[in-house]
Chains A and B, each alone.
Chain A
Amino acid sequence: MDNFVLEGSAKTPSVDFNAEKGVLELRGRSIPENSIEFYKPLNEWIENYGKSPQPETTVDVRLEYFNTSSSKCILDLFKQLENLNGSGTNIKVNWYFEEDDEDMEEAGEDYQAIINLPFNMIEVEEI
């Protein structure tokens, strides 16, 4: 299947979903006024990927900021992955946050508490 690559913009993150590697990356900031529009194609890609996934799938979330409109869409993305987990692929999430960015660290912990997927919290100097 095709990979899904989008360049980042001032309001939306860059997307690099690679079907051969089984690596799904979101990077940058996610602050669109209406996030549903932006995230819908991502959900559709994951749905297709789920039909023939790699044995191991890694989700790399390297977000600098996201608004509350995005937070719901990101949850939906994780829920979708949660449903895929164990049926042909083992999924793990790497949640990156910058040093001292407690807000982003907490945001990762919030998802970790809601979603039944293994989360690695990774502190980095710069996203």
Chain B
Amino acid sequence: MANIYDLYKTMESNKVMLSFKGRVTSDLLMSVLQIMETKLVAEDESPKVRKKIYNVLVECLQNLYHHIDKEKEGPSTSEIDEQSAIFMIAKDGNQYSIMTGNYMDSVDVDKLEDKLKLINSMDKDELKQYYKTVLADGQRSDKGTAGLGMIDIARKSGQKLEYHFLPVDDVSTFFSLNVKIA
């Protein structure tokens, strides 16, 4: 039972407001957004900050949602539950952090990493231009996602995205993302 206390202390020292581990469903997503809206009002944040956080949260959670929505080709050979994810929302001083973690196919890592590097190399105006280019080019997946999520997250955050890729076995990598909003 001491583990629970350890977990509590870790979350407490990281100033975690809300955390979840498991599958991100549509209903869960809506509940989390409602809880966070109430919490942000209670924290007395300005409408501007509240909207920014809400927006980034929507994109981050929907990334996790679409990730589990993804159809697997063939049976999984992995021991891990690839559809399980983690997210945490923390507040330290005036800075909010939205942290997510999910498994992904290792073969897709390079593509995502290139995109994140590109996004982090851009300033505010370049990001705006990049967003418009991707928006206007008309490409879209059958889930309605358009490759705009990370660009939008970076624009709203105004800070560099922190990320990490950890290979967990032959085929899977754990992807961690930390988005800061001040």
Q: A101-B51, A103-B52 are in contact. Are A33 and B65 (CB under 8 A)?
A: yes
A71 and B58 form a contact (CB under 8 A): no
The closest CB in chain A to the CB of B132 belongs to: A110
Q: A110-B135, A114-B135 are in contact. Are A65 and B128 (CB under 8 A)?
A: no
A84 within 8 A of B: no
> Chain A interface residue count: which class?
20 to 34
Instruction: Return the CB mask of A65-89 against B: 1 if under 8 Å, else 0.
Output: 1011101110100000000000000
A68 to B30, CA, bound (A): 17
A36 to B26, CA, bound (A): 16
Q: Is the interface of B mostly helix, strand, loop or mixed?
A: helix
A21 within 8 A of B: no
Q: Give B contacts to A, CB under 8 Å.
A: 26, 29-30, 33-34, 46-48, 51-52, 54-55, 58-59, 62, 65-66, 69, 128, 131-132, 135-136, 140, 143-146, 148-149, 151-152, 155-156
Q: Give A contacts to B, CB under 8 Å.
A: 10-11, 31, 33-37, 64-65, 67-69, 71-73, 75, 98, 100-104, 106, 110, 113-114
